[in-house]
Chains A and B, each alone.
Chain A
C-alpha cells in the first residue's frame, strides 16, 4: 500500500505541519518564554526572572485548589459521559424503526454553539420559568425550587451534567464504531450455545469494546480538561471559587488580573500535567494492546 516517493510526501505534509507549528507550536514556545519573565500586560516590557514564577505558583493554594477541581471535573465528566455514551451506543447498535435518524441526530447537542447550550440550560435551571425545578418537584425529588448555581457543589454538579450532555453523543458515535466492528457471528455462536443477553454483553461486547473505551477515556480526559467556555459563561468560576478549574484560573489571571507571566506559568504547568498524562496513558494503552 505504501510507496517510496522521495521528497514528495514532505511537500504534501509541509503546509499542514508549518501551519500547526505557527499557530499552535510557536505560541506554546512563547508561553514558555513568558513564564520566565515578569510581564503583566500584553506589549509591556519585562525582566527575566528565572523560575521564580514557578516557585510562586507552587506555593499558591489557589493553584492547588484549581488543580483539584480540574481533577474532580475530569473524573466526573469521564464517568457520566462514559455511562451515557455506552448506553446510547448499545442502543444505536440495535435495529429499530428510526435508528438511522437517531444515529444522525443524536449529536444535535454537539453541533450547537456553546453559548446557546449555556443559554438553554441557564434558562431550564432558572427559578423563573425553568423546567427543571417543576419537573423535579412533580417527581417528588425536591420539595422547593433549588438555586442550582448558588452553592459550589451544586454548581459543579450542574456544570458536569451540562458538559456531559453536550459531549456524550460524540463519544457515543465513537463507541458505536467500536461496536460495529464486533462480528455478528460471535453473538450468533453465543446465542446457539445458550448465552443470555447479559452474558453476551459481559463475555463478548465488554471485553471487545474495552480497547475502544480506553482510547476514548484518554481522548475524553484531554477534551474535558480543556473545557472553559461552559464554565466561564455559566458561573465564571464561582460561587466562591467552587468551579474555578485550571483553564478558568489561567483566563482570569491573564485577562482579568493582567498578570500575563503568571498565567503563562500556570499554562505551562497544566500542559506538562496533560502531556505527562497523555504519554503515560498511550504507553499503557500500547502495553495493554500487546498483551491482548
Chain B
C-alpha cells in the first residue's frame, strides 16, 4: 500500500500520541525511581533525571518484605498458569474437536462464568475457604486465579484447535492412537502458540490480581506483590521514592516475560478473538 504524505503525517501523529499515552507514565516512574527525594516532588518536574540514586531500591529491599512478596507472586502466578493449562486444554479439545450431547449449552455456561461479578463470589468464597482451611494459603489464591482465568482461556484456544487439519487426527486414530497420545503428540505441538498465549493470560491475571489476595491472605509473609505493595502505601508517610522503586520491581518480571513471549500472546489474542 502506498500512502500520500498527508496520511503519513496523520499516522505519525497518532502513533506518537499513543506512544506518549502508554510510554510517558512508565518513563516517569522508571526515571523517578532513581531520582533524589527532593527532585521527585519538585514543583517543576524534570523529564530527564538530574540526580541518580539507588537509595529507594536499597530502602525497599532492606526495610520491607519485598523479596518475599516477589517470590509469593511468582509461585502463585506460575502455579495458577499450570492449573489453567491442565484444565483448559482437555476441555477445549473436547469442545472444539468433538461432538457430544449438551456441548453448546456447556460451552455457553462456561462463557457466562466469565461475565458475572467477581465481587459477588468473594463473600461466600471467603466463608467456604474458612471451612476448607484455604484462607491465608497460597494454594487458595492459586485456585481462585485459575478459576477466573479458565473461561477466557478455553475461548482463546478455539481458533488454534480449529486450525489443526482433521486429516492428521484421523490418520492417528487409524493407527490406533488414544486420545492422550493424540493430545500430547499431535495437538499440543501444533497449538503451541495458543498454549503460550493462554499461559501469558493466566500469568498476567494472577500477577495483577489484588482484591481476592487482599481478603484471603492475612499474614505478611504470604502476601503477593499487589497486597504487599498496597501495604507499603499505607504503612509509611507517602514516600514516593519507595513507591516508585516498588513499582519498577513489580513491573520488571512481567515485562521480561512479555519480552520473551509477548508476540505469541498478541497472535493468540488476535487470532482467537471475537467469533
Contacts and interface: CB of A to CB of B under 8 A. Distances in A.
Given A27-B128, A225-B117, A119 B90 contact: no
Given A12-B91, A274-B117, A216 B99 contact: no
B41 A129 contact: yes
A37 B11 CA distance: 59
Contact of B208 (A111, A177, A178): A111
A121 B29 CA distance: 10
A222 interface: yes
B139 interface: no
A95 to B, nearest CB: 7
B121 interface: yes
A174 B271 CA distance: 9
Interface in A1-33: 1-5, 8-10, 12-13, 15-17, 19-20, 23-28, 30-31
Contacts of A34: 123-124
Contact of B98 (A8, A94, A110, A271): A8
Interface stretch (A58-66, A149-157, A246-254): A246-254
A105 B179 contact: no
A104 B247 CA distance: 21
B94 interface: yes
Contacts of B76: none
Contacts of A88: 18
Contacts of A180: 270
Interface stretch (A48-56, A72-80, A259-267): A259-267
Given A19-B146, A106-B22, A113-B226, A177 B121 contact: no
A116 interface: yes
A104 B146 contact: no
B120 A1 contact: no
Interface string B154-198: 100000001000100000000000010000000000000000000
Given A19-B150, A180-B270, A222-B115, A111 B247 contact: no
Given A19-B147, A30-B128, A226 B119 contact: yes
A204 interface: no
B120 A28 contact: yes
Interface string B247-260: 10011001100100
B9 interface: no
Contact of B113 (A1, A20, A108, A110): A20
Q: Which bucket holds chain B's interface residue count?
A: 35 or more
B14 interface: yes
A182 to B, nearest CB: 13
A91 B3 CA distance: 13
A222 B117 CA distance: 8
B22 A174 contact: no
B227 to A, nearest CB: 8
Contacts of B14: 87, 91
B225 interface: yes
Nearest to A88: B18
B243 A270 contact: no
Contact of B119 (A95, A107, A212, A250): A250
Tell me which of B26, B87, B151 has the highest count of chain A C-beta atoms within 10 A of its own C-beta.
B87
A72 to B, nearest CB: 17
A120 interface: yes
Given A91-B15, A116-B250, A30 B100 contact: no
Contact of B124 (A28, A115, A233): A28
Contact of B250 (A26, A91, A113, A124): A113
Interface in B50-69: none
B18 A131 contact: no
B99 A278 contact: no
Given A2-B98, A19-B150, A120-B26, 7 more contacts: A110-B204, A112-B208, A116-B247, A116-B251, A131-B24, A131-B45, A267-B120
17 contacts: A1-B97, A3-B98, A8-B94, A28-B116, A30-B127, A34-B123, A43-B130, A95-B1, A96-B11, A113-B251, A115-B210, A116-B247, A174-B269, A211-B274, A229-B210, A232-B211, A271-B117
